[in-house]
């Protein structure tokens, strides 16, 4: 079977589909339904039409459709990221319930990064070039991002560092470039995460144009 995947952004409402739907002639009272995460954590469970269990982390954030067993989560948190398993049993007899469905769906939670901020500090000057340290930073997104960029439409490679409290926390990212600017150039910094990209451009100006002093023409004095 193909792996089911669902994507959602932080703070939105998302539905995770189960693998069974009750026929119109049947009733939820004839089923047990278990939604669990990582096969360890029971998100919620129903038996004979009643909710019998719910993890405290999902309290007031989850509900289940009583016909197709879709698990609704709202608002979505980054910690919700991961695989969920839907197990459905039909109570043909209380002693011997039969499993009619057992399927996993993986939730991928994303969070938008802020628009990249570019700053440039001059570290040195000469008549030929201006030395600059350029920083590009963005924050508040998930999952771990990549930084790319162009200098006058040619690719540049950033020295990148990431900060996050854990593997399931929002990231802050910073890229650093050391440049020798010999003329005015356009720099673009792009932050990409899970297929979403945000970019910022900045014009970097050469700050020191030396003026060569004019030398008076030499002349000879003949006595």
In a shared domain, residues 135 and 71: no
In this structure, what is the dihedral angle of CA atoms 24, 25, 31, 37, given to the nearest 10 degrees? Answer: -20
- The pLDDT confidence band at residue 196, using thresholds 50, 70 and 90, is confident
pLDDT of residue 215: 61
What's the predicted TM-score (pTM) here?
0.78
Tell me the pairing of strands 171-181 and 159-163: antiparallel
Average pLDDT value for the chain: 89
In a shared domain, residues 8 and 105: yes
Mean pLDDT over 52-69 rounds to 91
pLDDT of residue 214: 60
Domain containing residue 174: CATH number:
2.60.40.10
In a shared domain, residues 69 and 126: no
Cis peptide before 207 (omega within 30 of 0): no
Domain presence at residue 214: no
Domain presence at residue 213: no
CA distance 144 to 141: 8
Mean pLDDT over 30-53 rounds to 89
Q: Which of 62, 85, 110 is the last residue of a domain?
A: 110
Q: 207 versus 144: which is more confidently predicted?
A: 144
In a shared domain, residues 10 and 88: yes
pLDDT of residue 124: 83
In a shared domain, residues 102 and 27: yes
Structural domain harbouring 119: 114-204
- The pLDDT confidence band at residue 18, using thresholds 50, 70 and 90, is very high
Mean pLDDT over 126-150 rounds to 92
Domain presence at residue 186: yes
SS (H, E, C) the chain: CCCEEEEEECCCCEEECCCCCCCCCCCHHHEEEEEEECCCEEEEEEECCEEEEECHHHCCCEEECCCCCCEEECCCCHHHCEEEEEEEEECCCCCCCEEEEEEEEEEEEEECCCCCEEEEEEEEECCCCEEEEEEEEEEEEECCCEEEEEECCEEECCEEEEECCCCCCCEEEEEEEEEEECCCEEEEEEEEECCEEEEEEEEECCCCCCCCCCCCCCCCCCC
CA distance 14 to 106: 12
The number of folded domains in the chain is: 2
């Amino acid at each position: 079977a193909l792996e089911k995947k669902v994507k959602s952004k932080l703070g939105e409402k998302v539905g995770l589909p189960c693998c069974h739907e009750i026929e119109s002639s049947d009733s939820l009272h004839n089923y047990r339904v278990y939604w669990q995460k990582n096969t360890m954590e029971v998100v919620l469970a129903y038996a004979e039409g009643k909710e019998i269990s719910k993890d405290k982390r999902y309290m007031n954030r989850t509900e289940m459709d009583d016909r197709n067993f879709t698990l609704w989560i709202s608002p979505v948190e980054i910690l919700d990221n991961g695989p969920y398993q839907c197990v459905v049993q039909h109570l043909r007899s209380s002693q011997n319930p039969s499993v009619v469905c057992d399927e996993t769906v993986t939730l991928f939670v994303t969070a938008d990064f802020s628009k990249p901020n570019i700053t440039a500090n001059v570290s040195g000057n000469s008549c030929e070039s201006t030395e600059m340290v350029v920083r590009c930073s963005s924050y508040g997104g998930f999952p771990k991002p990549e930084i790319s960029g162009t200098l006058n439409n040619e690719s540049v490679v950033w020295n990148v560092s990431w900060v996050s409290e854990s593997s399931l926390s929002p990231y802050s990212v910073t890229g650093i470039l050391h440049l020798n600017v010999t003329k005015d150039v356009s720099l673009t910094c792009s932050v990409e995460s899970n297929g979403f990209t945000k970019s910022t451009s900045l014009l970097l100006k050469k700050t020191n144009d030396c003026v060569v002093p004019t030398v008076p023409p030499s002349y000879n004095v003949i006595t």
